[in-house]
């Protein structure tokens, strides 16, 4: 019985630490409350060095896409959107706890979303990213 209690307490604190390290606001719930449909699920990323994280996405015409990032720390990060040939479409540096960017495409477009830390003199950067869409 004591062993089961120890395991339960350990799992509880591990779950608590994990959920609070990415912030209490889930980007997907924010997107849904703003009238967007969820495009996939929350992506939790951990930036532990200067290596950027990349996500490949396909965007369709006649839809508005919202990329929403939850950042529980005040560490700066850079988010960039490239076409499939690595031509820069959009870039911005942010340190807000909740940031979003809206995109509207005139045709089917494959893109790369890249996120990387700006000032890595601070600890590990944990972000949660969600992408939503709605028709025009």
pLDDT at 42: 74
pLDDT at site 88 = 95
Q: Are 26 and 128 in contact (CB under 8 A)?
A: yes
Percentage of the chain beyond pLDDT 90 is: 18
**What domains does the chain contain, in order, with CATH numbers?**
2-135 (2.60.120.380)
Q: Is 135 exposed, middle or buried, given 0-12, 13-18 or 19+ CB atoms closer than 10 A?
A: exposed
DSSP labels, 32-96: HHTTPEESS--EEEEE-SSPPEEEEEEE-TTEEEEEEEE-SS---EEEEEEETT--EEEEEEE--
CA distance 28 to 24: 12
CB within 8 Å of 33: residues ≥ 6 apart:
none
Query: In angstroms, what CA-CA distances link 107 with 45, 56, 59?
Result: 29, 17, 8
Per-residue pLDDT, averaged over 49-68, amounts to: 86
pTM of the model: 0.70
Summarised one tens digit per residue, pLDDT across range 74-120 is: 778 889 999 999 999 999 988 777 788 899 988 899 999 998 888 76
The mean pLDDT of 6-22, rounded to a whole number, is 41
User: Once rounded to an integer, what is the mean pLDDT over residues 60-77?
Assistant: 84
């Amino acid at each position: 019985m004591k062993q089961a209690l120890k395991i339960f307490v350990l799992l509880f604190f591990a779950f608590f630490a994990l959920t609070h390290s990415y912030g209490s606001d889930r980007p997907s719930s924010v997107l849904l409350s703003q009238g967007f449909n969820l495009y996939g699920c929350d992506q939790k990323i951990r930036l532990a060095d200067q290596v950027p994280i990349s996500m490949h996405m396909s965007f369709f015409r006649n839809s508005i896409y919202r990329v929403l990032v939850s950042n529980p720390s005040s560490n700066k990060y850079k988010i960039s959107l490239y076409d499939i040939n690595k031509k820069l479409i959009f870039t911005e540096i942010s340190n807000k706890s909740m940031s979003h960017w809206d995109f509207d495409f005139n045709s089917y477009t494959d893109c790369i979303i890249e996120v990387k830390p700006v000032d890595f003199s601070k600890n590990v950067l944990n972000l949660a990213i969600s992408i939503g869409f709605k028709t025009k």
